[in-house]
Amino acid sequence: MTTDEDGSPCTEEDPFALALQVGHGPVYLRLANGGRIRMPVHRWYAHPNVADESVLNRCVGPVLDVGCGPGRLCRTLLRRGVFALGVDVAPRAAAHTIALGGIALCRSVFDRLPAEGGWRTVLLIDGNIGIGGDPRALLGRCFQLTAPAGLLLVEVDPDDVEERCTARFEDIHGHEGRPFPWARLGAPALHRIAEDLALSVTDQWIYGHRRFLVLGRQDTASGPC
């Protein structure tokens, strides 16, 4: 998971950075409306589960994992012989990915990245459609990074929601990090935004409480990847 295009909200003492350091929570995303979402830090450090496998099985290399966190997806792809690069603005996330055998850059998706226009699969998993608080800008940027026939695999909120907000990371004691822009998007909202951007939804599926969609350009998308 990562956050905004202006840099990481995580300082060394930020609740999110500390959770990444120890590999478990609890750490929460506190929304401006008072809502609180528990971040699945333990899952990010675990082996890919069945829902994750449904994403990995649809990946065609080279793969760019945006907001890679500790890199469970890009590391697994590398072990399977699929080239994958993780990017995350949280220094601890990128460092953990590398330490555990992956390849990662501590960089924003909005920064200059390697092989722009050449990635066959770009991942926005674990709620990373919220990066920067502007899903339209994020999707547009991701398709700048993909090859002409490239695909974007997106995990959306299981609820029908379209929300742009300011958020903070918070630990169980109420200690907060600095605010950053964030967004929550359900499948209906993603369909609407995709259509506005001349993108097609070529596949979608649900595993448990997690929901995923595949996006491609309308002039090249021909079906599920």
The predicted pLDDT at position 79 comes to 97
Phi, psi (rounded to 5 degrees) for 179: -75, 155
Residue 154 is assigned to a structural domain of this protein: yes
Q: How many domains does the chain have?
A: 1
Residue 222 is assigned to a structural domain of this protein: no
Each residue's pLDDT tens digit in the chain (225 positions)? 554 444 444 445 688 887 887 776 788 999 888 889 998 888 898 999 999 999 999 999 999 999 999 999 999 999 999 999 999 999 989 999 999 999 999 999 999 999 999 999 999 999 999 999 999 999 999 999 999 999 999 999 999 999 999 999 998 888 888 999 999 999 999 999 999 999 999 999 999 999 999 999 987 654 443
Residue 8 is assigned to a structural domain of this protein: no
Say which CATH number the domain at 166 has.
Answer: 3.40.50.150
Q: Which residue is associated with the tokens 């369909």?
A: 191
Q: What are the distances in angstroms from CA 84 to CA 104, 146, 187?
A: 9, 13, 26
The model carries a pTM of 0.90
Residue 138 is assigned to a structural domain of this protein: yes
Residue 166 is assigned to a structural domain of this protein: yes
Residue 7 is assigned to a structural domain of this protein: no
Residue 23 is assigned to a structural domain of this protein: yes
Peptide bond connecting 26 to the previous residue in cis, omega within 30 degrees of 0: yes
The predicted pLDDT at position 34 comes to 84
Residue 1 is assigned to a structural domain of this protein: no
Domain containing residue 121: 15-217
